[in-house]
Structure 1
């Protein structure tokens, strides 16, 4: 029998708790259908006492994540801490010593993905990140494996549930952006500091990860456009922060819904990429995607257009992807980019060009998607 693989979990927040619970519910071990066994070696948290009260055995807990990563008995590190540091350093350290890493951290991947991938390839470790985009919706693995025979020409979609919730509520209730944002914060759909969502940063991070899988290259996330054009020239506020109820009402009169759309497409040797408020036809699946749901569409040759839809966040959905990645490593599947054998480059993205636009009363010019 193959020896169990021992797993260290960094972080016990919304996602981490669900991952740990999956182990504890099965007696500290996960067993895949083909017999591979994963054992929980430890959990790194900020507050050990709080995690004990939350039901995690104290014997598994530590407040020293670097020590847990360095433990020679640990084979796989699950990073669900979020943020940039110390998550990046811990993941790099694990990969440098040949330990595989599973992460849901789209920020670190978008900003340091090329470095992490290069390190993983050098040491032979696996780096898996299905949970970084779409929660439990398996779009990244599909791009690498199920669609491996295709040339992917474009990816687009709604990848941030917070902004989609806000825009849906503005449209349905006829209320101003600031009022709906305040309600979303009270309901827990938006952070106290919502800029990462409403200014399009979260969606841009996810788009950079999507582009890695779709085109085989990492995009410089800093070059992904997030500011819509102004009718008078120049650029408006980032993300959805400049969208007004007057714009939404005027768009609806033309059969269009305002959505924050992340899009990336090939243009010769370059990639056009942006996260922009977009006027989407009501009678399209993207135009009908409301609330906190995500929808990602992929255009490939010869497959045509395929779509992935589902909850884009939350503990259960995201932990499903994390656990799936763990089992994939136990089965020897390797890294999430399995379909791309060559080391990628870092590309600068160019601004997308739309053949049709809608001019809102606010002075914003919206790309139109039909």
Structure 2
């Protein structure tokens, strides 16, 4: 039976994503009604600048008082696409206090205060959905917390920021330097005027925290995620990667320890073999590789940002939440029963690619190899060649290690810097996906 009373939606924020959400709600109203089982009505749009022209949105719906909109008594669902911590956190809390379920795309807030928001939703018997907070249009949150709920996930590795993937892809495919690739990303609208959140890994780290919490049924906050940006990645690093049959990606890597007693969460640039599925992810696309005990290896791929892709994920959540409202039920909430500790980066075991500038004389290689051995780091391959810039009496030494703890590698590098024959550590990069 079709319900005749419409479900009323408050839209908090009407930027690139919010305006696209409003457009789809309007143009696809009949389809949404059939899919939900009741009409869905945009009842109000809270914005900061009411004078801005918003094509396709009735000016009568516009308000600058988001709190009053939520408190007016007839709102069923709030869609929060404001971003940031405040006022978004306060508005979501107000929504719950007034019986309103919430759909959010706010990765920063969920990574920082997800546990408290989940608790508030559960306390009031309401939904908190956030598919759009992690990978744009890619269905990822729901498969992890529903489709794979009966499985044990051991590892999640992925590209979760389109801006950084675009930059690194251009560096790889054209030989451009970092700044040149960033300038192109900015000109095309992929990078913000201030790209810090993307290129320094903050955006990816927030998404990593959310994904780790869902995958491992434990609470992982943004502060728990180890983070390195990609601003130091150079054309020389890509040249070395190609010689190894690899490329470079900014990866979010979430792992359960072999004994199951802890987890790790990290974001950093890494070399991955060209044979790995993530290596072929081009332009501003995202992809996430999931390794589960029973399901095996799964990959989720698609556009990870932008108004339309993100709005698609928001509308998917809206349909699910509205269906729950009609059924007087709620969907899955937070699952954090394992309470696993998050291990420090020093415990992570992986391979490394280290490029050194060294004196070009006999005995240097032996000295470097001894330093690695003293710190328990086994060397896989070594390549030495004269400096390409023609600097006399200096050579470039590239060492690729076997798997070793990150703490051991850090100790090795610190000792290498103290050697008279080592003029500098040009780059350090992890090697993943093997």
Whether TM-score is above 0.5 comes out as yes
SS at match of 1:257: strand
- Structure 1 residue 51 displacement after superposition: 3.4
Is residue 29–residue 39 contact of structure 1 (8 Å, CA) maintained in 2? Answer: no
Q: Distance in 2 between matches of 1:182 and 1:33?
A: 43
Cα RMSD after superposing both structures:
2.0
| Mapping 1:288-303, distance limit 5 Å | 288-303=280-295
Q: Deviations over 1:38-90 (max 9, x none)?
A: 211111112222134x3311111111111112221111110011122111111
CA 1:29–1:111 in structure 2 vs 1: closer, same or farther (change >3 Å)?
A: same
Unmatched 5+ stretches in structure 2: 357-425
Is residue 14–residue 46 contact of structure 2 (8 Å, CA) maintained in 1? Answer: yes
Structure 2 residue aligned with 1:359: 354
SS at match of 2:255: strand
Match of 1:45 among 40, 44, 47: 47
Structure 2 residue aligned with 1:244: 234
- Structure 1 residue 344 displacement after superposition: 7.6
- Structure 1 residue 337 displacement after superposition: 3.9
SS at match of 2:203: helix
| Mapping 1:328-367, distance limit 5 Å | 328-332=320-324, 337-338=332-333, 348-351=342-345, 353-360=348-355, 362-367=426-431
The aligned length equals 357
Q: Distance in 2 between matches of 1:27 and 1:286?
A: 37
- Structure 1 residue 28 displacement after superposition: 9.3
Q: Distance in 2 between matches of 1:134 and 1:32?
A: 27
Q: Deviations over 1:277-321 (max 9, x none)?
A: 010001111111111111101111211111100000111111111
Structure 2 residue aligned with 1:111: 112
Match of 1:327 among 284, 302, 319: 319
| Mapping 1:1-370, distance limit 5 Å | 1-2=2-3, 3-26=5-28, 30-33=32-35, 35-52=37-54, 54-227=55-228, 239-267=229-257, 268-332=260-324, 337-338=332-333, 348-351=342-345, 353-360=348-355, 362-370=426-434
Unmatched 5+ stretches in structure 1: 228-238
CA 1:358–1:301 in structure 2 vs 1: closer, same or farther (change >3 Å)?
A: same
Q: Distance in 2 between matches of 1:347 and 1:72?
A: 42
Structure 2 residue aligned with 1:236: none
